[in-house]
Structure 1
């Protein structure tokens, strides 16, 4: 009964690192642009579900959660944690030396310090006016609230978020960039990974120059050497590596006369082409370059080519050319990542770059619950000149999330079926 090839610690570690980096970079894009816009980011999380580790630095709590799927940046205004404050509730206010409220205690009269005041809430506005009205000792008093005041309940502190610190309080463009930055970060990561591959392993050149010569292969047996530049094959001039590969691949089991330039000297070699499933091979690799300009070009070109290829595949899904049974879910992707990890770091890095592009593109689809869906709502808001009803938008995102979870279950079932039946 087949099972994912995860029998080595290296494979499991590779899966954790690859997916951890992809999610981290995606969420980091959201986080940095949200912070730049002045949005209060309450939490930066890797994983979903219960917290297994957390640490607070500044205004943000950084958490690691149990389920290694996805992550999130929880921005102020996107959650209901401030709904705990209600009229007629008894609270205690702690104030700083200038009289501004710095802590609102919801667990009864337990304030500390000379500035502590206990009373019943008459009215409050923690978004615009930043004030709270208490009835205390038979009179109503209005208190000014510090923009970074803390709500305290059961020992847990939550910082208030004035409107100008909330996601909804920012301009359409600021919100657009905060959302778009996640997928954009994935494209940038892919570009960087391709550049690292080029710097470490070199970029294949398109000139017909021989690189690594496989020992015992046809080229080695014919006396060809690394660095030889192919001039002609069977008298036909060759100017690019692609032309050379095309000629050789169409000549299985044939004897080819190859003329190469070796340091200014012309060398004739008779090469018997190997037949591998009716494809001709002479067992050579092409030469590589480490030139910075070529490496940058390789990074950009590879990112563009894989983006185009994945977009074509997505288009085939929507046109019906590809069915759900052909899709791979988390299980299938984990399995492939483990297999690529055993083929070497270069292959794993290229796979990680492709996955990063895929993550960026999927998130840009205009579907509810994805970044693309949120961008679509922002576009509608920009065209209308006012936002949609948040409750209606929230319902659409909820339904979209439910559909997305159902899709993940379907493709995961397909993955498991393939694993146990192939």
Structure 2
């Protein structure tokens, strides 16, 4: 049952919280808000309380808070009805209230209750409130998850792979299979502690003691790598066990399954996830024979990695690499933490997630990330169902992830999104007068077309991935 309801829970909660932010801010600033809607199109359920009508609409792909505005006619074509006199209820119609303002009664909306009558600061407060609530939702969810399930800890101290850094030749002394025992003289017990100690080194000398000896290198100084670059250049050991297979990926089409242990690739033994990456990365478009252990028996299959553009961690340049669309089994364990640490973990998780989404958007704009990787409502639905099947932790983590996505993407300067509306209001304030009704309508239509194009593109990607999965199941 949870899997069936998961998409509604995920979509509904994230959208509800976003629109609730706008609604609360509108109420606090005295803007008349006659409608609070989750979804667009025909109403499936509606209920009026006070001066606001609450609506659950047929298309749960968004939502809106309708506010009194002199530009009501320009937005009516998007939201499905205005609040002007032409849309007002008439005496005898269900819901008509002779003491209410439009559209529920005959009384006009005072200009002081219009959105435009408020100061620029108040308008910006209303428009940024939805994004703020989404960030707050993600922070609260991640904090509660950290407090309930503990903080993820990477328990190993064994090096899985070392990526060369031109600015750190001493790093070449570190070899796969080495065990890091101390960082700058401080003993470490987990990879999480190793990363924390390296990061805390700041500028100066970084010393790593391993089971084979000791190496030192300058960090954080001119000509030397940053501590973040050092952390990124050294991978911890991960067993070559499959933890996830992406829908529509080469791995899924070939029959690779969660729990499979990779034994050989191209007839060469594989003992770590880093070795798997070393075999797959340079083999885009090439058939690779895989042998995996599944339930005590060996299974053979052929996988052709797909070419994907990716930034080289050592040089920073873009290059084509092979990807099979599979992820390693989670190597982390859980460590109980207190309330204070959970709050820090929630804030850090929210910040890191937002940074990754911003990076993805930047990658799409610079073509470092392919538009084929965009997922739409079908992908979110499938992810919701899969997360619900994995348990409540996965489901709520997806809610936090999607909430941050909504926050970041809503800040894009596309007219019908919050970022576009903020830009439009600031532009009018600088101009000293509002844009004409025709100009605003054209701007909104442009924004609507842009959103529809993104929606169509992401949905097309979803359908293609689903079709590939279906073909793989039918024909192997």
| TM class by smaller structure | 0.5 to 0.7
Find the residue that maps to 2:446 and give its secondary structure: helix
Give the match for residue 419 of structure 2: 372
1:366–1:376 Cα contact (<8 Å) kept = yes
What CA distance in whole angstroms lies between the structure 1 residues aligned with 2:468 and 2:106? 51
Which runs of 5 or more structure 1 residues have no equivalent in the other structure?
Answer: 1-8, 86-103, 109-145, 210-232, 253-273
What CA distance in whole angstroms lies between the structure 2 residues aligned with 1:84 and 1:283? 59
Match of 2:456 among 394, 397, 409: 409
1:193–1:349 Cα contact (<8 Å) kept = yes
Find the residue that maps to 1:161 and give its secondary structure: coil
More strand by share: 1
Give the match for residue 378 of structure 2: 331
TM-score normalised by the chain length of structure 2: 0.59
Find the residue that maps to 2:45 and give its secondary structure: strand
Give the match for residue 361 of structure 2: 314
Give the match for residue 139 of structure 2: 191
Relative distance call for 1:202 and 1:105 in structure 2 (3 A) is closer
Partner deviation per Cα, 1:292-314 (whole Å, 9 max, x = no partner): 11001001100000000010000
Shift of 1:351: 1.3
What CA distance in whole angstroms lies between the structure 2 residues aligned with 1:43 and 1:31? 9
Shift of 1:248: 6.3
Give the match for residue 271 of structure 2: 278
Shift of 1:170: 1.0
Give the match for residue 123 of structure 2: 175
1:69 aligns with 2:69: no
Shift of 1:407: 2.1
Shift of 1:208: 7.7
Partner deviation per Cα, 1:327-355 (whole Å, 9 max, x = no partner): 11111111111111111111111111011
Give the match for residue 13 of structure 1: 5
Give the match for residue 27 of structure 2: 35
1:241–1:286 Cα contact (<8 Å) kept = no
Relative distance call for 1:315 and 1:247 in structure 2 (3 A) is closer
Partner deviation per Cα, 1:245-275 (whole Å, 9 max, x = no partner): 97861899xxxxxxxxxxxxxxxxxxxxx98
Partner deviation per Cα, 1:48-79 (whole Å, 9 max, x = no partner): 11011111111000111111211110001142
What CA distance in whole angstroms lies between the structure 1 residues aligned with 2:143 and 2:351? 13
2:46–2:56 Cα contact (<8 Å) kept = yes
What CA distance in whole angstroms lies between the structure 1 residues aligned with 2:152 and 2:134? 24
What CA distance in whole angstroms lies between the structure 2 residues aligned with 1:346 and 1:362? 24
Give the match for residue 431 of structure 2: 384
Shift of 1:404: 1.0
Match of 1:293 among 327, 340, 355: 340
Shift of 1:168: 1.2
Relative distance call for 1:248 and 1:73 in structure 2 (3 A) is closer
Relative distance call for 1:107 and 1:60 in structure 2 (3 A) is closer
What CA distance in whole angstroms lies between the structure 2 residues aligned with 1:385 and 1:149? 34
Match of 2:152 among 204, 208, 229: 204
Which runs of 5 or more structure 2 residues have no equivalent in the other structure?
Answer: 74-81, 93-97, 158-177, 196-233, 241-260, 264-269, 274-327, 470-476
What CA distance in whole angstroms lies between the structure 2 residues aligned with 1:235 and 1:84? 74
Shift of 1:167: 0.8
What CA distance in whole angstroms lies between the structure 1 residues aligned with 2:180 and 2:137? 45
Relative distance call for 1:393 and 1:278 in structure 2 (3 A) is farther
2:7–2:381 Cα contact (<8 Å) kept = yes
Which residues of 2 match residues 345-360 of structure 1 at below 5 A?
Answer: 345-360=392-407
2:181–2:189 Cα contact (<8 Å) kept = no
TM-score normalised by the chain length of structure 1: 0.66
1:41–1:59 Cα contact (<8 Å) kept = yes
Larger CA Rg, structure 1 vs 2: 1
* Residues paired across the two proteins, number: 311
Which residues of 2 match residues 123-138 of structure 1 at below 5 A?
Answer: none
Give the match for residue 56 of structure 1: 48
Match of 1:239 among 170, 188, 200: 188
1:51–1:65 Cα contact (<8 Å) kept = yes
